[in-house]
Amino acid sequence: MYKAKVIVTLRPSVFDPQGKAVENSLKSIGLSSVLDIRIGKYIEMEIETESYQEAEQVVIEACKKLLSNPVMDDYNFTVQEIQSERSIK
Amino acid sequence: MYKAKVIVTLRPSVFDPQGKAVENSLKSIGLSSVLDIRIGKYIEMEIETESYQEAEQVVIEACKKLLSNPVMDDYNFTVQEIQSERSIK
């Protein structure tokens, strides 16, 4: 059993209106030292595969097909093995 | 100048319908080895403060007041110093 942590961010060249809105909100509540904000997605998934390589492939396929927009987004991830009930036995 | 990376996640006890929907979508496109997905937010911000401690305080205040829901969310973050045009001079 593997656990993947994926971060999907807008490419630096893409304008981030959500980030801009949050930045303005923070300034309006007095946090004027925040200069720039960009907002992305964080995804945690558990994957049941035989090997680390297979788990990585599943994450890449999930990112390419569903989690990220290939035109606007970048993604990066880490995969680590975790103890599952099955592997403890 | 400091850069903070913040991850806001739903508490483990809170049901995540968005994650469940993505999990079902991944299964429907053949990625059946994905067992569990939870989705959170990833926020990058640049902060202009005198010290690391002040930058941390700004991030904590932003998380408490705006970025996370104290009832349903957990947050964690890292802060690191970065080179800005001002600090290079």
pLDDT tens figures, A17-64 = 999 999 999 999 999 999 999 999 999 999 999 999 999 999 999 999
Pairing of strands B2-10, B34-47: antiparallel
pLDDT the model gives residue A70: 93
**Contacts of residue A25, Cβ cutoff 8 Å, sequence gap at least 6:** B66
CB-based contact B37 A47, cutoff 8 Å: no
pLDDT the model gives residue A83: 82
Question: Taking 70 as the threshold, does the pLDDT of residue B24 lie above it?
Answer: yes
Q: Which of B1, B31, B53 to mutate to test the interface with A (most CBs of A within 10 A)?
A: B31
Query: Using CA atoms, how far apart are residues A79 and B1, in angstroms rounded to an integer?
Result: 31
Using a CB-CB distance cutoff of 8 angstroms, which residues of chain A are in contact with residue B47?
Answer: 33-35
Span B34-71, pLDDT tens digits: 999 999 999 999 999 999 999 999 999 999 999 999 99
| Torsion sign, CA atoms B85, B58, A18, A76 | positive
B63 Cβ under 8 Å from any chain A Cβ: no
Nearest to B42 by CA among B75, B79, B84: B75
Using a CB-CB distance cutoff of 8 angstroms, which residues of chain A are in contact with residue B37?
Answer: 43-46
pLDDT the model gives residue B25: 96
A60 Cβ under 8 Å from any chain B Cβ: no
| Torsion sign, CA atoms A38, A23, B56, B80 | positive
Q: How confident is the model at residue B89 (pLDDT cuts 50, 70, 90)?
A: very low
CB-based contact B48 A35, cutoff 8 Å: yes
B9 Cβ under 8 Å from any chain A Cβ: yes
Largest CA distance in chain B: 54
Q: How confident is the model at residue A88 (pLDDT cuts 50, 70, 90)?
A: very low
Domain boundaries A2-88, CATH class: alpha beta
B2-83 adopts what CATH topology?
Mth169; Chain: A , (3.30.1280)
Question: Taking 60 as the threshold, does the pLDDT of residue B88 lie above it?
Answer: no
